[in-house]
Amino acid sequence: MKTLIAIPAFNEEESIGAVLADLASHHPLEHVIVIDDGSRDATFDIAHAAGVRVIRHAINLGVGGAMGSAFKFAARNQYDAVVQLDADGQHRPEFLSTLLEGIGRTDIVIGSRFAAGGGFRSTWARRNVQRVIAWTVSAYTRTRLTDVTSGFRVSGPDAIRLFSEHYPVEYLGDTVESLVLASRQGLTISEVPVIMNERAGGLPSQSIVRATLYTGRILLILVLAAFRSAPPNVTAMKKRVKRESAP
């Protein structure tokens, strides 16, 4: 299975070097791509020097935009699986094989901090926010999911085809919206327990107020996602596939 590790990075000069060094013992670096999402620091130079492929965005598009580029790259180069790995060292490469084992059973496999066997220390507010969002997404996908905001996940061939056409770009909503989009297109999702490191930078939902705003925004995205039809690119792709498969 040809597997691409995609690392979206925005101003991650402090951690990207260590992440790539750690990754090197688990995956060949020629199949690793760093998406430098308009960084103003040395992220590009460090990644380039480490010998991985680097895509550089001229402006900051957010994690969703960066992953969109990664999926387009993967589709163009016939990859069978794309693993998203954070540049801040939160995701541990020793769990790559655990994630990849799940591909084939389902189209997307999420590394979950909250599934039995996973581990992550977290605040009370953050845990409950995660729980509410997880319940909602589980209802959409008709699968029991515990950690839908986890960025540590692998996408199989069908998911790569879908996401290379359209990947949600809304800030901090890309993880959940992509799951809803995938399940509405008939893709299957599962999760495996993983252990994550503490994030080096600030958490997006530290205080109760910020946690509430964050939850509200994600829930709004979810409500809209349910109401929306397929994105225009995806509809066009399905028509194309149907035409090609017709005799």
Partner 1 sequence: MNPQILAIILSVIMLVIVLVLLRFYFLPEKYAVIWLVAAIAAIVLSVFPGVLDGISRFFGISQPINLLFVAGFFVVLLLLMQLSLELARTREQLRKVVQSIAADMERSSSGDD
What are the residues binding partner 1 (CB under 8 A)? 58-59, 170, 173, 220-221, 224, 227-229, 231-232
Helices (H), ranges, 77-123: 96-101
> Distance (Å, rounded) from C-alpha 82 to C-alpha 157?
8
**Three-state secondary-structure class, residue 183:** helix
Q: Closer to partner 1 at the Cβ: 189 or 221?
A: 221
Q: How far is the CB of 175 from partner 1 (least distance, A)?
A: 14
Q: Closer to partner 1 at the Cβ: 201 or 232?
A: 232
> Identity (one letter) of the amino acid at 73?
F
Q: How far is the CB of 18 from partner 1 (least distance, A)?
A: 27
> Identity (one letter) of the amino acid at 172?
L
From the CA atom positions of the chain, what is the Rg in Å? 17
Sort strands 108-112 and 32-36 into parallel, antiparallel or unpaired: unpaired
Q: Closer to partner 1 at the Cβ: 27 or 166?
A: 166
Q: Closer to partner 1 at the Cβ: 14 or 170?
A: 170
Sort strands 108-112 and 81-84 into parallel, antiparallel or unpaired: unpaired
Angle between helices 157-165 and 62-76 (to 10 degrees): 120
Q: How far is the CB of 197 from partner 1 (least distance, A)?
A: 31
Q: How far is the CB of 126 from partner 1 (least distance, A)?
A: 23
Q: How far is the CB of 165 from partner 1 (least distance, A)?
A: 12
Instruction: Check if the beta carbon of residue 179 is closer than 8 Å to that of residue 97.
Output: no
Maximum CA extent, the chain:
58
Q: Closer to partner 1 at the Cβ: 158 or 170?
A: 170
Q: Closer to partner 1 at the Cβ: 139 or 220?
A: 220
Q: How far is the CB of 235 from partner 1 (least distance, A)?
A: 9
The burial of 150, by beta-carbon neighbours within 10 Å (0-12 exposed, 13-18 middle, 19 or more buried), is given as buried
* Residues contacting 186, CB < 8 A, separation 6+: none
